[in-house]
Structure 1
Amino acid sequence: MNLSIPLGEQNNDYAAVRVISHDSDGIEVKGAKMIVTLAPIADELLIFNMPGLKPGDEDYGVAFALPVNHPGVKIICRKPLVKESFSDFDYPIVNSFDEIDAYLLLDNVHIPWNRVFVFKDVQKSNIFYDKTFARNHTGHQGIVRGLSKAEFLTGTAIKLAEVLGVNGFINVQEKLGELTSYIELLKASILLSEEEASMSEEGVLNPSISAIQAIRYNFPKMYERMVKHIQSLAAGSMLSTPHSGDFHSQMIWLMLKIDQNF
């Protein structure tokens, strides 16, 4: 897919989801969505193209709801993080959690009219993300997730500093203070988005987007600094962490025996 070319001019059946035909029963669509989080375990998916459509992209001006077991739907999961050869000793976190992002393919899928929200309308398609407050709710979920990540990394950094006995040094305290300040900023932004929430005409309470967008912009930078601080605190310790297999080799027992003799 060439991103410099409008969707309506793409020579690719799977550049995005588009309408290929319609009748009195509904519409028929074809195309793909690049990232569909947790698709394999969802009941239904909300399909729409992101804002930015231009005149000539009418076939892509579509939004609809789709059951995951609908005929013609294919879900291709990304390579999972969990691996059979990974031990809990070596990867205590990776084997416990995974986010099943997927690639969604729609091959001539029929959607009944009662599941269609936007039909070949560029203007309505472009405002769908904001008009439905989908941006607000997905963004709120995103910054709450960011808070969980920040709490985990900050807790890891604090524990690491305690174990290494460096938590009394001023420069280390400065780094830990920076990390804990990120947590408070995230908490404040979440509370602000909820405090300034507004009720839609349909009776749905929608968090304010301003604080959400501020965190969505800044959190990747915060996260990068958190990881770098942990790497700085651990220094060579991270590189010298033994593998679980090392504890079952003859070499480790020989080293322990030599150490005991001394």
Structure 2
Amino acid sequence: MRESRLPVAVAAVLLAALLLTSTPATATAGTTGPALAGPVGLGRSARAAPLGPLTLGPTSGSTTANPLFTSVTTAAPCPAGYGRNVGLRIGPAGGTGGLLLAPQNAGGYDANPVTFPATIRTLTQALGVETAEDGDYDVYVECFGLTTGRHPERFQTTISVAGDRWQIRTGGPAPAGPSTPVPALEPPSTTAPNSPSAGPGPTVEVAPTIEPTPAAAAPVSPSRVAGGGDDDPSLAPSVLLIGGLAVAVAAVALLVARRRRAAATGSAGAATWNDRS
């Protein structure tokens, strides 16, 4: 009975090994890496969107003048719920800056446009520098609520500083370069005046064009021949494994057949001996 069950057990083990070997290849073929968790969120702009412009008085002046502005008025009231306090500031365009006037806290700034009196600081004092650098600066008003805090947006007007002067910025920068197109220069003539016309030059023979010989066909890869035309190199180990399993099964079957033949021969000899006895 043990010898009759041996081929079945060996075949089961070989079949299980074949299945375990082919399963990872199938799983790998369908795996392309971890999936993305989702779209990347967009970053929030660092510069607050203005609630409206400011009316500055005057519209230009000196960077060392005190007051810098005689009056500043917002284009509209502060948003509802943000009329408890207001503050007037100035700083580099797109950023934050220093106070030009102490915050006003009388309340009710969300009912009517807000007007600030004359400022108490110069531009350089508000920025905390001795000389203001040339460039653009935002003059802006922030609105605050008692329970809501500071509003994320602001009233704003931009001024441009050049040297010790400033003015409200209007429009974009002036275009650079001349507006009139420059005519292209004509190359000078290589033929001198009153010179005899040049005769025909020597004939230059052109070498015949040699057509390239088609390249020899690329050698066929051994893996393509072994795999039956498939370019997947992973099939070669599978073919070798199947061949090895087939050889192992044949060897086991041959061994079992020899044992059975030997057992049959022994049984026949024993029977003959008993008959002689």
Report the TM-score, using the length of structure 2 for normalisation.
0.18
